Amino acid sequence: MIGSILNLFRNKKTETDNEMKYLITGLGNIGAEYAHTRHNIGFDILDTMAEEKGLTFEDKRYGAVTTYKFKGRNFILLKPNTYVNLSGRAVNYWLQKEKVPVSKLLVVVDDLALPFGTLRLKPKGGDAGHNGLKSIQSTLGTTNYARLRFGIGNNFNRGQQVDYVLGKWDRDEKAVLSEKIEQAIEMIKSFGTIGTAQTMNMYNNK
């Protein structure tokens, strides 16, 4: 009888722990040549978030991982090492390993369609031509996962899109980049504490 009660307690505790877990995935490419490029803004946001608490990423299967604790929540920060085009493999693996439901997944991604520095949280949506989102959608079999879109603008000439996306921030962008990254971090924490809808209402029109 006592054993059954203890097992029930352990199961309830595990369920509660899982309910407080969130998988925050920042998209980007590994390698020095891609560091701090527009396409790697997802990595930079998670790096800044980890640095603020003195956290270190560990290289594990399919990516670098650390856990950020905030108001009773465990944010599992994931930087896939699969390159952007195969991001779905890393996301799917860590969702299953950590038993995080898709409803508690947030993907941080660069977006050409938004002006530089514009931040938009969405509860679901298509891939908008982004290969990372395309891979996640294909692997998970759903578009019903939250994404935080960081606008990188589209200030490039015809045929120069790849060079622009994989290029470094210009001087004017660098001047406000830290402020925008901090806003993205606030939105991530808000996503895990008050939910998608309220976070959208608070931040999407800023």
Q: What is the mean pLDDT of residues 48-61?
A: 98
What's the pLDDT score for residue 38?
98
pTM to 2 decimals? 0.91
Compute the mean pLDDT over every residue in the chain, rounded to the nearest whole number: 93
Per-residue pLDDT at 7: 60
Residue 5 scores a pLDDT above 70: no
pLDDT band for 56, please (50, 70, 90 cuts): very high
Active site residue 39: yes
How much is the pLDDT for 205?
75
Q: What pLDDT score does 8 carry?
A: 54
CATH code for the domain defined by 20-203: 3.40.50.1470
Q: What is the pLDDT of residues 96-105, one digit of tens each?
A: 999 999 999 9
> Residue 2 above 70 pLDDT?
no
Q: Provide mean pLDDT across the span 163-186.
A: 97
Q: Is the pLDDT of residue 3 over 90?
A: no
pLDDT digits (tens, 9 = 90+) for 108-124: 999 999 999 999 999 99
Residue 10 predicted with pLDDT over 90 = no
Write down the catalytic residue from 21, 38, 39, 147. 39
Residue 34: count of CB within 10 angstroms of its CB? 15
CA geometry: angle 158, 161, 164, nearest 5 deg? 120
Who has greater pLDDT, 7 or 67? Answer: 67
| pLDDT greater than 80 at residue 4 | no
- pLDDT at residue 199 greater than cutoff 70: yes
**DSSP line for the chain:** -HHHHHHHHHHHHHHHHHHTEEEEEE----SGGGTTBGGGHHHHHHHHHHHTTT---EEETTEEEEEEEETTEEEEEEEESS-GGGHHHHHHHHHHHTT--GGGEEEEEEETTS-TT-EEEESS---TT-HHHHHHHHHHT-S-SEEEEEE------TT-HHHHHTSBP-HHHHHHHHHHHHHHHHHHHHHHHT-HHHHHHHHTT-
For residue 124, the model assigns a pLDDT of 97
**Ranges of each domain in the chain:** 20-203
